[in-house]
Amino acid sequence: MSAAELPGFSTSRFRAEREADWIAFDLLLTRLEKKGAAALTSDELLQLPILYRATLSSLSIARATSLDKALLDHLEALSIRGYFLVYGVRETRLSRIRRFFRYDWPAAVRALWKETLIIALIITLGVATSYSLVASNPEWYYNFVPEEMSGGRDPHATVEFLRSTLGHGKEAAADEQQSGLHVFATYLFTHNSQVSILSFALGFAFGVPTMMLEYYQGIGLGAMLALFAGKGLGVDFGGWLFIHGTTELFAAALSGAAGLRIGAAVVFPGARGRLEAASDAGRTAGKVMVGVILMLLVAGVLEGFGRQLITDTMLRYAIGTVMLLVWLAYYYIPRREDVA
């Protein structure tokens, strides 16, 4: 004999004693769903968790006493609906976007500070390696920079030609404008995004290909820097690079750091399984990569427009420095809420 069949206990009596609470809870939830929290008074908002707990209590008793299935289904549906409306996270799309930019993205970048330092050192090592080799013997340049990428900027180029490729002077700027800067910027954004995504994706192979790719990026940069410095154009080349390079190289380091975090999780999962460790690392790295794409978009605009339109070397350095300080402040100044 079930409890419902015991003397003094019946479905009708159970319903009569509690149904008023269920109806009141249902009405409040309906208003909350249709018009939001603003449609409820302070007293009604305070009543919500009380009625929610009363509904859960009724559901518990109904299950234990094997009451009719229709009543059980009704109480279960009401409880689930109440849970999501009373305790569930109700953020609008705009709120989620705001939270991502204010907290999630910078917090994820801060979480990868060790990997970011490692990748930055690897890029620097690549720059130093190729720079020293090309500076000592310019023939090394051809081993580091493919002909199709150099565009005539090689050890046999004249100083005048190399200076002209840096976009100095009004004529150079006018030529760049006529050539369609928006197309150039789109190409750069697409290319750099692909390289960064590849660097991130290769992290799954224990992070080794990621580090090799980042090192190779430094190799090309160091060879080009040695070429221009050898012709007495090192400062001009630095300004040409700096205006967009501080953003672009920072993004490259972050994409490598994201890949390295996943690779490290696969190699050293700790007490967790490898799949679980990689999944946890992937969530943080994924937030970083969304930000990396946005950074590359900014770098593409600076490279496609700013660098071509701003021909003064010192102004290029100033803009690049300001951009670097902005990124550093955005990522690493502590915030009250950290959700990494």
Roughly how many angstroms between the first and final C-alpha of the chain, as a whole number? Answer: 54
* Whether residue 217 has pLDDT greater than 90: no
**C-alpha to C-alpha distances, 5 to 59, 60, 70, nearest whole angstrom:** 18, 17, 17
What pLDDT is attached to residue 124? 95
pLDDT per position as a tens digit, 251-268: 999 999 999 998 888 888
- Taking the domains of the chain in order of start, what are their residue ranges? 12-87, 94-332
Which of 179-188, 210-219, 271-280, 289-298 shows the lowest mean pLDDT across its residues?
A: 179-188
- Chain mean pLDDT for the chain: 82
**C-alpha to C-alpha distances, 77 to 23, 56, 88, 89, 93, nearest whole angstrom:** 13, 11, 15, 18, 26
* Whether residue 299 has pLDDT greater than 60: yes
Residue whose structure tokens are 């310019």:
138
* Whether residue 115 has pLDDT greater than 90: yes
* Whether residue 13 has pLDDT greater than 70: yes
